[in-house]
Amino acid sequence: MPADIISGKELAQTIRTDLAAEVAALKAEHDIVPGLATVLVGEDPASVSYVTAKRRACEQVGVRSLHHELSADTTEAQLLKLIDKLNNDPAVNGILVQLPLPDHIDENAVIYAINPDKDVDGFHPVNVGRLLIGEARFPPCTPAGIQEMIVRSETPTEGAEVVVIGRSNIVGKPIAVMMLQKAPGANATVTLCHTRTKDTAAHTRRADILIVAAGVPNAVTADMVKPGATVIDVGVNRIGTTDSGKAKLAGDVDFDAVKEVAGKITPVPGGVGPMTITMLMKNAVAAAKLTLS
């Protein structure tokens, strides 16, 4: 029997509806409208697309979008000056600098310059530390979306075997930490696989929950999946174009084959992607609420 599809698009819409009500209440009760500043350096097509989608989500939930477009030759000093200005602007609750940045700009220097209380991406070392000790203020958006999908699909996590493929700072490491926390939607036993793991399939075959962020199209095949497992595919790989000229996308999981083995699975597109942007909106609202304390 084919796996149940976990639709990130549908879940995201449900959460955004709830967030819109939350934003309306903030406005009515405290005269606060969350403000999210997005910063785009250069004209990378994927980055432009991502920022456009984030700004559209802001409009949908009622978050004020404050967008800054900078040329590709913007210096690191100029970008840091803008971040300092945004750090000190009370109308800005959250700051998101779209990555990747041009090669001449040190991404870490930019991330470290953002006020941790406005770091809605959750990349600043202070927020990474909070995540590690179980006191996350702004969980990274993609891992937060993954955990929401697992919980809302009613996948048991207590004592579950979770295997994560990929050890990036953006997805692999944080979701591993989040799933092992002593907390609802977690309490799992976690294995983190990566490019130096010996016999990755031996680990994935025992996973009750398999989270794949390998960055390689169709890296996980049906024979690597435990029957009935919940499979979360984080990958978005461009593998060509359609007849109409649109990008043809594939996940890190061989969806057509694995859906015949798994119990639940996320699609690509329409899976983790919409949830990532929705969790950004959730963090922006949380950042605005910090001003109440």
Show which residues are catalytic. 54, 98, 121
Report the alpha-carbon distance of residue 155 to residue 16 in Å, rounded.
22
Please provide the distance, in angstroms rounded to a whole number, between the alpha carbons at the two ends of the chain. 51
The answer to whether the beta carbons of residues 157 and 186 sit under 8 Å apart is yes
Helix axes 125-132, 172-180, angle to 10 degrees: 30
Report the alpha-carbon distance of residue 259 to residue 291 in Å, rounded.
45
Question: Which residues neighbour 47 within 8 Å (Cβ) at sequence distance 6 or greater?
Answer: 40, 98, 99, 100
Q: What is the CA radius of gyration of the chain?
A: 19
Report the alpha-carbon distance of residue 79 to residue 183 in Å, rounded.
38
Burial 184-210 (b: 16+ CB within 10 A, else e): ebbebebbbbeeeeeebeebbbebbbb
The answer to whether the beta carbons of residues 266 and 272 sit under 8 Å apart is yes
Report the alpha-carbon distance of residue 147 to residue 140 in Å, rounded.
11
Helix axes 272-289, 141-152, angle to 10 degrees: 110
Alpha helices in the chain (DSSP H): 8-30, 45-61, 76-87, 107-113, 125-132, 141-152, 172-180, 200-204, 255-258, 272-289
